[in-house]
Amino acid sequence: MQPIRVLIVDDSAFMRHALGRLLSEADGLEVVGFAGNGELGLEAARALRPDVITLDVEMPVLDGLTMLRRLMTETPTRVIMLSSLTTEGAAITLDALDSGAIDFVAKPGGSLSIDIGRVGAELVAKIRAAAAMSEASFLGHRQRALARRPQAPPTPPPAGMPRTRPAVAAQRLVVVASSTGGPSALHALVGGLPGRLGAGVVIVQHMPAGFTASLAARLAAAGQLPAAEARAGDVLAEDEIVLAPGDHHLISSTAGRVQLVQLPPVNGVRPAADVTLLSVAPAWRERLLCVVLTGMGADGREGARAVKAHGGTVLAQDAATSTVYGMPAAVAEAGLADRILPLERIAEAIVAWAAAGRHPQVPFASHGRLVHH
């Protein structure tokens, strides 16, 4: 197999050297060039046609976000962002994901970290996943990014902000699992849900601490349902979305109250969807819907197995619309998906499932490909 050709764009000579050495030592990767700012990065992308670009955010002459937006129009290339673990870094990184980046890796100690090797395995895995995307998947990902208009990022609400309406404990629950490509997919999904869904929603997106509050604010702005980062003691409420906070697993008591725990990572991640699903499946049973979206790995598969064992329903995103067909593929190949759907039809399927629960005489519409066991 041909090696994955990588272009490194970073204004720090130290970081270019460190990344170059790290990636050159990984099997199947070849560093084909370096650039110290966005303008030089665009020139190198045109000349070298790399398979994947690692892109810093803060650079002189032309910053990473502006370069990315031009790249998606001029020389479409798969991009992994390198971001700082700060509130501003989180907002810019989410802008980058909205603008077409496949995924990101947070530098452990800032832009001049000497500890970049600590995230080396994660970076290599994400580069390989980006390179493995089919052309059709990348085209769809890019088109969704180009269709979104850049806007000022919303500000996360302060903790404890009062609700616009009283919280009502949910009688039905939707748990959404996502990873690579997830923020873009979640934006589309949440934008398709009505303000009166008739179910509570929990989202488990693989992200580090500090990023999920910004993502929640964006999802609240994208749709009609209020969305917030979950806090310990929150009630899983009808017609509200909560996100598992980065670096914490989200579980639920039998009374439907959120508990946040820092048990070891599961499937290499924290939060992990499997932890949440295994927690809620015995209590919610047939009132539980599991939705597994795009992402690397197999997180969600064992949780989906528990959901099915307790009488719940499982939906999985299809390969054609997944940025990375890993997590949904694991569920589908295990025979656990009741329906396999393109991204643009998942919201309507969630609405149909919620309606069927409120009105048993209304069948859960058979949208998408049924999986027979």
DSSP string over 38-103: HHHHHHHHHHH--SEEEEESS-SSS-HHHHHHHHHHHS--EEEEEEESSHHHHHHHHHHHHTT--E
The catalytic residue among 206, 252, 274, 338 is 206
The catalytic residue among 84, 179, 252, 279 is 179
User: For this structure, is 179 an active site residue?
Assistant: yes
Q: What angle do CA 105, 108, 114 make, to 5 degrees?
A: 115
User: For this structure, is 24 an active site residue?
Assistant: no
- Report yes or no: 173 and 200 within 8 Å, Cβ to Cβ: yes
- Report yes or no: 183 and 94 within 8 Å, Cβ to Cβ: yes
- Report yes or no: 238 and 168 within 8 Å, Cβ to Cβ: yes
User: For this structure, is 299 an active site residue?
Assistant: yes
Tokens of 114: 């000497």
The catalytic residue among 98, 299, 318, 338 is 299
In whole angstroms, how far apart are CA 320 and each of 95, 117, 144, 324, 370?
A: 24, 33, 13, 9, 16
Query: How much is the CA Rg of the chain, to the nearest whole Å?
Result: 20
Q: Is the peptide bond before 158 cis (omega within 30 degrees of 0)?
A: no
Query: What is the pairing mode between strands 258-261 and 249-252?
Result: antiparallel
Three-state secondary-structure class, residue 294: coil
- In single-letter form, the type of residue at position 314 comes to V
Report the C-alpha gap between 296 and 221 in whole angstroms. 27
Three-state secondary-structure class, residue 255: coil
Tokens of 238: 């009808």
Could you list the active site residues? Answer: 179, 206, 299
